[in-house]
Amino acid sequence: MSISVVVVVIVAVLIFGGVGVFLVRPKRGSKLQLGVSSEADVVTGSSERVATTEAERSFDVVEHRRGFEGSLPKSRSLLGAALARMRSKRALGEELWIELEEALILSDVGIDVSVELVGSVKEKVFREGITSTEAAIQLLREEMITKLDRGDRELNTDATPPVVILFVGVNGVGKTTSIGKLAAQLSSQGKKVVVAAGDTFRAAAAEQLEMWAQRSMVEVVKGSPGADPASVVFDAISHAAAVGADCVLADTAGRLQNRQNLMDELRKIRRVAEKASGTVSEVLLVLDATTGQNGLAQAQGFGDAAQVTGIVLTKLDGTAKGGVAFAIEDKLEIPIKFVGLGEGIEDLAPFDPVAFVNEITGDVS
């Protein structure tokens, strides 16, 4: 079986890669000239809906404050506008289910989970003979909160010190910033924190971490640029053990989950960290709230390589809802542990399922 597959692949590669050089090239020029005449109609076709949400958002800007509560109003723009229309009709119709499903999709919850959620709410509504729109939405909200009902959101710090916490994720999600914030919080709780500058790839990543560390007065262990990240993490853990620190927060370079060699490197970092400390208490996947359905692939990829124990959902203070985190927790059973809500040192909060669900489903008041 495997041999046949390999042969087929080689042949296909040959045909397209080798022969393709001759056959496909001539077509390229002509393809480039395809028109884009459709653009105009699309914009007008969809602008109405966007316009309403935009208008509402501009009001929200005034109200915008840092923190979960402060960013609540903006969510009305998605579901809230739909609900206002629905409420005037009173009756529960197909339209409501579509609106609900689309609101979930627009929050990046993903189509599978959205259809599933709305389907089960619909069933309950019919079974229980519910007739009001509000009650139906309340049911959806309860359904979502039930799905997020789990007891393992606390940061696991039970291991013998130093407790090792590894931060992983794709590029630009906010790993270094999250470490900076968590380090500050732990240190303000009286914990002695050592930070490992394990991102030896990105230019100035260690400097960025040092600036965070200065603000919160924690120690940073760093290697030279391009050094083996696993060795930096190892050094940090040994140093932490020597000085009697309570925990080690280890940064890693951003990497895309489809890069095999980089995922292997991450495996090694985890292995080495385990060796140095006996156990890695937490592996936190940092996830950008603007991420779409690729978030699932990220959770899966990093989960395979580093056994992710929790999610830090960052940038929730923007317009994105981070619904894919809901899908991840639902499908892959990885709990969301923290949310990032701004650039301030205190803007990392424990995950609150109720507030998160209210963000997505809108605030019915």
Partner 1 sequence: MFEALGGRLEDALSKIRAKARLSEADVEVALREIRTALLEADVNLLVVRSIVDRIREAAVGAMASRSLTPGQQVVKAVNDELTKVLGGESFRLTYASRPPTIILMAGLQGSGKTTASAKLARYFKSQGRSPLLVGADLQRPAAVEQLRTLASQIQVPMFSEWTSPIEVAKGGVAEARRIGRDVVIVDTAGRLTIDADLMEEISATSKEISPNYTFLVIDAMMGQDSVTTAKAFNEALEVDAIILSKLDGDARGGAALSVKEVVGKPIAFASDGEKLDNFGPFYPDRMASRILGMGDVLTLIEQAERTMDEDVAERGAKKLMEGKFDLDDFLEQLRQVKKMGSLKGMLSMLPGVPKELRNVEIDEGELGKIEAMISSMTKKERSDPASIDSSRRARIARGSGTTPANVSALLKQFKEMQKMMRSMGIGPASATKRKAKARPQKKGRKNRR
Distances (CA, A) of 332 to 6, 49, 151, 175: 31, 33, 16, 21
Q: How far is the CB of 262 from partner 1 (least distance, A)?
A: 9
Task: For residue 168, give the amino acid letter.
Answer: V
Closer by beta carbon to partner 1, 10 or else 242: 10
Q: How many CA atoms lie within 13 A of 26 on its CB side?
A: 3
What token pair was written down for 262?
């980089």
Q: How far is the CB of 44 from partner 1 (least distance, A)?
A: 9
Closer by beta carbon to partner 1, 120 or else 290: 290
Closer by beta carbon to partner 1, 297 or else 349: 297
Closer by beta carbon to partner 1, 55 or else 91: 55
Closer by beta carbon to partner 1, 277 or else 314: 314
Distance separating alpha carbons of residues 78 and 110, to the nearest angstrom? 15
What token pair was written down for 97?
């289910």
Specify whether the CB–CB gap between 301 and 257 falls below 8 A.
Answer: yes
Q: Which residues pair with 194 in a beta bridge?
A: 219, 248
Q: How far is the CB of 203 from partner 1 (least distance, A)?
A: 4
Q: How far is the CB of 38 from partner 1 (least distance, A)?
A: 5
Closer by beta carbon to partner 1, 104 or else 357: 104
Q: How far is the CB of 134 from partner 1 (least distance, A)?
A: 24
Which strands sit side by side in the sheet containing 336-340, from one edge to the other? 219-222, 193-197, 247-250, 163-168, 282-288, 310-314, 336-340, 348-350
Q: How far is the CB of 49 from partner 1 (least distance, A)?
A: 6
